[in-house]
Amino acid sequence: MDGKRVRDELIAELASRVAADGSPEVTLATVLVGDDKPSQVYVGSKRKKAVEASLKSRHVELANDATQAEVEGAVAELAADPAVHGILVQLPLPDGLNAEAVLNLIPPEKDVDGLTERSMGRLVRNNPGHAPCTPLGVMRLLERYQIPTAGAKAVVVGRSTLVGLPQVLLLGRKGVDATVTLAHSRTRDLVSVCRDADIIVAAAGIARLITADHVKPGAAVLDVGISRTEAGIVGDVDFDSVQEVAGAITPMPGGTGPMTIACLMQNTYNAYQMLKG
């Protein structure tokens, strides 16, 4: 499953949708605190894709020694600005800053990363809002590659609030209708649990945790985990062995990562629609 190709398709479709809507100034604001190089790269990529999607990009950059009050003030200003439709605070923040306090200043309508308590509550209650971009990207890949979900057995390995828990909710939603099992590092006999699944989403952050032994022939395997090793970036899935038995599989990198950015752009346009009423 080629996440880069699907990302580019979704962004092109979004650009056409924005044009058909009269090319409104849909604005994504990004907030970067400090000089962390990977964070700078991530934010730069998101801003570039926003322009490709015909969205406006606004960027706020604060020094590494910015105070909690300064960061909160910058986010509160964006939250109050009617010209800003989506707000993304790049994590992690520098040591000493309270990320939860910062994120909770973002109104749920503008929380296009889907990370705040109120956004998670809306997801649980199936109310209008924004789902976290990475699990939403997994759903878009399943849709694009026509992986059946209704009645399918799905296993999500990993229970983070960023991916694992919202992924369970999205797969179990009415209309998707998968039967979902949440597994993790302390699950007994993980091999048997996974081998019964039609869909595996690996999001535990443990390098090459999922091997061919875990995968039923023909199952769809989506790798969300990222580990940095001496050999470079690897995922939770042992790609070389698993691709021999899986019916569909995402590479790492190049699979679910690009989809996260595509869904951020979709969430931003949806935020504009919600705020427009």
Residues acting as catalytic residues: 46, 90, 113
How far apart CA 62 and CA 36 sit, in angstroms, is: 12
Cis bond upstream, residue 82 (ω within 30)? no
DSSP codes, 188-200:
TTHHHHHHT-SEE
Please choose, from the candidates 253, 251, 202, 206, the residue with its C-alpha nearest in 3D space to the C-alpha of residue 41: 253
SS3 33: strand
How far apart CA 271 and CA 277 sit, in angstroms, is: 10
How far apart CA 92 and CA 38 sit, in angstroms, is: 10
Tell me the backbone φ, ψ of residue 112, rounded to 5 degrees: -75, -10
DSSP 105: T
Residues in the chain: 277
Contact 80/44 with Cβ under 8 angstroms?
no
Maximal CA-CA distance, the chain? 55
DSSP 178: -
SS3 244: coil
DSSP 32: E
Sign, CA dihedral 179-205-35-118, equals positive
